[in-house]
Amino acid sequence: IENNGLKVDIFPNPAQNILNIKVENLGVYTIVIHNILGEKMGEWNSSNQIDISSFAELSNTIALTEYST
């Protein structure tokens, strides 16, 4: 995904155990994953690998937010 100079790569898709996130041109950020029911599955700060092996096999949404200074 590329938007306004921000580049985000999330792979593999679909993922089973480890989700890799590569972010360019962004300082400190938070990643939040919700399942299809809207339940928060977890939150990580500026992480580039997330262990999702304990997540149920549902569709999940990922939000990435930059910290305000």
pLDDT digits (tens, 9 = 90+) for 4-50: 677 889 999 888 899 999 988 777 888 999 988 888 999 998 888 99
What is the rounded distance in angstroms from the CA atom of residue 46 to the CA atom of residue 67? 10
User: Which neighbouring-strand residues pair with 19?
Assistant: 50
Tell me, what's the pLDDT at 58?
Answer: 67
Tell me, what's the pLDDT at 2?
Answer: 61
Tell me, what's the pLDDT at 68?
Answer: 58
Task: Tell me: pLDDT of 69 over 60.
Answer: no
Distances (CA, A) of 19 to 28, 33, 57: 19, 11, 14
**Which 8-state DSSP code applies to residue 68?**
P
Residue owning tokens 């792979």? 11
What is the rounded distance in angstroms from the CA atom of residue 45 to the CA atom of residue 1? 19
Tell me, what's the pLDDT at 27?
Answer: 79
